[in-house]
Structure 1
Amino acid sequence: MTLGTLLVPVDFSLLRELSIGEWVAGETVETEAGLVTTETLVYAGRTIAKRESEPQGEAALAVIANAITSGQLFPGLAQELSTRMVHWKLYLELGLGQQKSSETEELSLWLQSRLDELGVESFDDLELIDTKDFAFEGIPEWEYADFAAKYPLVIQLSGLTLTVEYFGKGKLVEVSHHSGSRKDDPKRKELPAWSGWRVKYRKASRVLDLR
């Protein structure tokens, strides 16, 4: 082998055929044929080739989980799960469950784990499951409705929509302005009883104690 031989240009297609380099997953986009992931073959810091394929395996689970989270798949499911997860965290903070930790898994990661448990490996497998397969095992079903009613996450008043965040360990409720044409601040008597809790109202940078 001579120096001249070493300097002979190599066709990138040959490197691809020899499986030299590493395929790196890129952006996943929705096309008329469905969701596809663009992958690039990278060698020595250079892009040798590109290809498009249907997400498979872990890549598919991540894409499917994101599609559920954004509402593209199973509309409404992500909101339902998020609500139940928030309530479960509060339930634990109030010492109502046997589990000690109140840390809950991120929704996207929880969905990926659940999809894996269901044996989903590609989008084709979604035909075999439905929303009932994504039941979140948190607050027992027989007491969930009462708990959710006692600790709502959204409150609708006349001309005013409020979001609610609970800090169970400090027994603090923070009610925040979300939308609406009403100019007046909400009155404490318009809100749930929340006996034993301190209640604050936030609108932009302004924070008030509601008594």
Structure 2
Amino acid sequence: MRRQRRRKVAWSNGGTEIELGRQSAAAYAEHAETLVVFETRALGDGRMKTTIIATCASPVPPAWLVAEGLGRDRVAKVKWTNGRLIATVERVFARKVLAERTFEPTGALAREALAQLIARGTLFGDSRDVTRERLAKRRLAARLAARGLLADIADTTTLTDEDHPSWLVARLTELGVEEAGDVALLSAEDVTAPNLPWEVAQALDQHFPAEVSTVDARYRVEVDVDEGEIILRYVGGNRGRVPKRSALPAFPGFKIKVDTGKGWAVVE
């Protein structure tokens, strides 16, 4: 696939980039987006840098790559019209779109398209916000468990770190959904994520609550597991006060930053 690099053009199939030899006739195919490379040569410049040169290559239409089964399909757009599922599907290879087609999908593409519709609330809208909230808690619990912060408190072995669309695709697969007509057999409950196990939810609420209140103010709690930070965002109460550490949950292993309503401070 063609990659424009300032004044020169490089080619890549998603891995190492290569260049065309100076004498290659393919270099004059200015509008070519795809090449088939038959032979390459590696050249070093003595400074730990190696350039891969295509010594034999030929431009080909993107449709030829599609015909050979290269790339993967992804759902780019989807709509629900009078009970019909219409999807625009792109064939992507090396981060480039080779082809696009619009049709009524079945199988895995139908599940991906339906997951998008459910995630944005077009179908089973009552399930969207509930599922987002439950999955957010599940992701947080899974990430905390990966750091060993909940393992001694609750059984976290069944937790998964999935976003809403990914969870929906897995759920629709579990339910055996194959086409748009199967939607009539589903209910909002079928596509609503379950609550956390009771002991995990209790541990999360006790040690990493969604909101905390002090004598002076109320804060929304955000947990950045990767950075090891607890962020307290001011919700209401007296502004400009920095809460004492003793007035907050322990938040073991995390430093605490607080939005006081008048600026940021670190809780010592």
Counterparts in 2 of 1:163 and 1:39: CA distance versus 1, 3 Å: same
Aligned to 2:131: 77
Tell me whether 1:62 sits opposite 2:112 in the alignment. yes
| Cα distance between partner residues in 1 of 2:190 and 2:74 | 32
Aligned-partner SS, 1:174: strand
| Cα distance between partner residues in 1 of 2:142 and 2:182 | 29
Aligned to 2:56: none
Counterparts in 2 of 1:193 and 1:56: CA distance versus 1, 3 Å: same
Q: 1:109 aligns with which of 151, 163, 166?
A: 166
Counterparts in 2 of 1:133 and 1:103: CA distance versus 1, 3 Å: closer
| Cα distance between partner residues in 2 of 1:117 and 1:70 | 20
Aligned-partner SS, 1:208: strand
| Cα distance between partner residues in 2 of 1:191 and 1:143 | 24
Tell me whether 1:194 sits opposite 2:244 in the alignment. no
Aligned to 1:184: 240
Counterparts in 2 of 1:56 and 1:160: CA distance versus 1, 3 Å: farther
| Cα distance between partner residues in 1 of 2:234 and 2:120 | 20
Counterparts in 2 of 1:88 and 1:33: CA distance versus 1, 3 Å: same
Q: Residue type matched to 1:108 in 2? A: P
| Cα distance between partner residues in 2 of 1:114 and 1:71 | 16
State, as a whole percentage, how many aligned pairs show the same letter. Answer: 17
Comparing 158-167 with 78-87, greater Cα deviation is found at 158-167
Computed over aligned residues only, the root mean square deviation of the Cα atoms, in angstroms, reads: 4.5
Tell me whether 1:165 sits opposite 2:219 in the alignment. no
- Map Cα deviations across residues 14-62 of structure 1 (whole Å, 9 max, x no partner): xxxxxx9799965213445554224689xxx998x965x4342222211
Greater fraction of residues in helix: 1
| Cα distance between partner residues in 2 of 1:160 and 1:209 | 16
Aligned-partner SS, 1:27: strand
Tell me whether 1:122 sits opposite 2:179 in the alignment. yes
Deviation at 1:165, TM superposition (A): 0.5
Q: Which stretches in structure 1 are left out of the alignment for 5+ residues?
A: 1-19
| Cα distance between partner residues in 1 of 2:267 and 2:173 | 46
| Cα distance between partner residues in 1 of 2:230 and 2:82 | 45
Greater fraction of residues in strand: 2
Determine if contact 1:26/1:37 at 8 Å carries over to the other structure: yes
Aligned to 1:14: none
Counterparts in 2 of 1:68 and 1:29: CA distance versus 1, 3 Å: closer
Determine if contact 1:200/1:207 at 8 Å carries over to the other structure: no
- Structure with higher RCO (Cα < 8 A, 6+ apart): 1
TM-score (norm: length of structure 1): 0.59
Deviation at 1:84, TM superposition (A): 1.9
| Cα distance between partner residues in 2 of 1:192 and 1:148 | 15
Aligned-partner SS, 2:249: coil
Q: Which stretches in structure 2 are left out of the alignment for 5+ residues?
A: 1-65, 92-96
Q: Residue type matched to 1:62 in 2? A: E
Aligned to 1:175: 231
Counterparts in 2 of 1:195 and 1:109: CA distance versus 1, 3 Å: closer
Counterparts in 2 of 1:202 and 1:142: CA distance versus 1, 3 Å: closer
Count of aligned residue pairs for this structure pair: 182
